[in-house]
Homo-oligomer: A and B are copies of this chain.
């Protein structure tokens, strides 16, 4: 459990922590607030991500994600839900250029062979092997 750096990029901060701490597989959740955010959704027909940017202070109601390997390096996949001062929410896939105002992370490292992301031709996404 720990505090993420104010002014840091949410995804990059978690990724840097994992690189330094040699974490290759983990799950995590974050609560806190951002000063701006970039989120998106996957267009399942076009197989591309659609993104949008929020230039406003917002609460991180939930941010759930995982760490696994992509191209041999720790890769963060997370989805985030944000709320404004009226409680109005927006959510989706978390992208970089989401800036931490205050962030509290619970990260649980997982033992065993790290899972790796490879290209999945059905979805066009980088996914794990099915179990």
Contact B6 A25 (CB under 8 A): no
Q: For the complex, give the distance between the alpha carbons of A43 and B59 in Å.
A: 10
Q: For the complex, give the distance between the alpha carbons of A52 and B86 in Å.
A: 8
Main secondary structure of the interface of A (DSSP, over half): strand
Chain B residue numbers with a CB within 8 Å of A78 are 31
Chain B residue numbers with a CB within 8 Å of A84 are 41
Contact A91 B83 (CB under 8 A): yes
Q: Which residue of B lies closest to A83 (CB)?
A: B91
How many copies of the chain does the oligomer comprise? 3
Chain B residue numbers with a CB within 8 Å of A128 are 1-3, 104
CB distance from A98 to the nearest CB of B (A): 13
Contact B61 A81 (CB under 8 A): yes
A11 on the interface (CB 8 Å rule)? no
Could you list 28 A-B pairs, sorted by A, with CB under 8 Å?
A1-B66, A3-B129, A6-B122, A6-B123, A29-B64, A31-B65, A31-B79, A35-B44, A39-B87, A41-B84, A42-B57, A42-B59, A44-B57, A50-B85, A59-B79, A59-B91, A59-B93, A61-B80, A62-B91, A64-B64, A81-B91, A83-B91, A83-B92, A86-B90, A89-B91, A101-B123, A102-B120, A104-B127
- Chain A residues at the B interface, C-beta cutoff of 8 Å: 1-6, 17, 25, 27, 29, 31, 33, 35, 39-45, 50, 52, 57-62, 64-66, 68, 77-81, 83-93, 101-102, 104, 106, 110, 115, 120, 122-123, 125, 127-131
